[in-house]
Amino acid sequence: MRSLTVLGSCAAWPEPERACSGYLVEYDGFRLVLDLGFGTLTRLLEHCPGGTVDAVVITHAHSDHCVDLNGLLRVRHYGDLTLERIPLLCPPSVAEYVDRMEPEPRLHELFDIAELPGTHRVGPFEVTGLALPHHVPNAGIRLTAPGLTLAYTGDTAPDPALIELGADADLYVMEATLQEIPQAERNLLTAREAGAFAHAARARKLLLTHFWPGRDRAVSLAQAAETFAGEILGAEEGLVIPLSAAAGPSGRGTARR
Ligand SMILES: [Zn+2]
């Protein structure tokens, strides 16, 4: 099975029944988690009891993207299963942030920590983190494996690197926090900008996510459709997107809830 499961879709803090940023990528039995924001761990454990994932990738040291890494650390440390160390790819500030939550266990005891930005081989994937502008160091993520390219922005201001990050991606997961360009300096994208960058990158499919709590998400999807002509999906907790390499002779997969 090759798929992306949305664990959480909210920016900043979770709405009731929702969670913040988190995605489970499954590729022929290998399970990689992208971000672990507020509320994602309980959803992850529905798919991976005991925290049995194979790799974790975190984009940046904001709690809506990494706070539940502490929970995964606890599950793997205190749980009944005996688990091997797994790769944890992240900017150094992420490990520092999570290790400040409690004195032990330390992340490096359970994870082989590798630094982003940079490129690393993880299971079937080549994982590349590209520096993108945000309030804190943020690594946009590009995952490639035979037959699949998946890209994910984390949180970012508009930047030309977003075209490189998502070039020819089968699925481009893009934060679309804003619906209008604010007066003040910002470090996040509007939905229209997300669509425009996905178009420039020639991405095949766009998944909008990281919606500001309380906003009408249909507005964001409509705005992205002004700049991106391909298929656009809105992230919803539990949404499973088959990844194209596994879609079989019919080509592209279709989203299902
Ligand atoms: Zn965020």
Q: What is the mean pLDDT of the chain?
A: 95
Sheet of 22-27: strands edge to edge?
A: 111-115, 86-90, 55-57, 30-36, 22-27, 2-8, 240-242
- How many A from CA of 180 to the centre of ligand 1? 17
Mean pLDDT score, 233-257? 68
Look at residues 159, 157, 113, 122 and name the one whose alpha carbon lies nearest to residue 142: 122
- pLDDT, tens digit (0-9, with 9 covering 90-100), for 133-150: 999 999 999 999 999 999
- How many A from CA of 167 to the centre of ligand 1? 23
- pLDDT, tens digit (0-9, with 9 covering 90-100), for 45-68: 999 999 999 999 999 999 999 999
Write down the pTM of the prediction: 0.94
Identify whether the C-beta of residue 9 lies closer than 8 Å to the C-beta of residue 237: yes
- How many A from CA of 76 to the centre of ligand 1? 25
- How many A from CA of 134 to the centre of ligand 1? 10
Mean pLDDT score, 96-102? 98
- How many A from CA of 248 to the centre of ligand 1? 34
Identify whether the C-beta of residue 87 lies closer than 8 Å to the C-beta of residue 120: yes
DSSP for residue 212:
P
- How many A from CA of 80 to the centre of ligand 1? 32
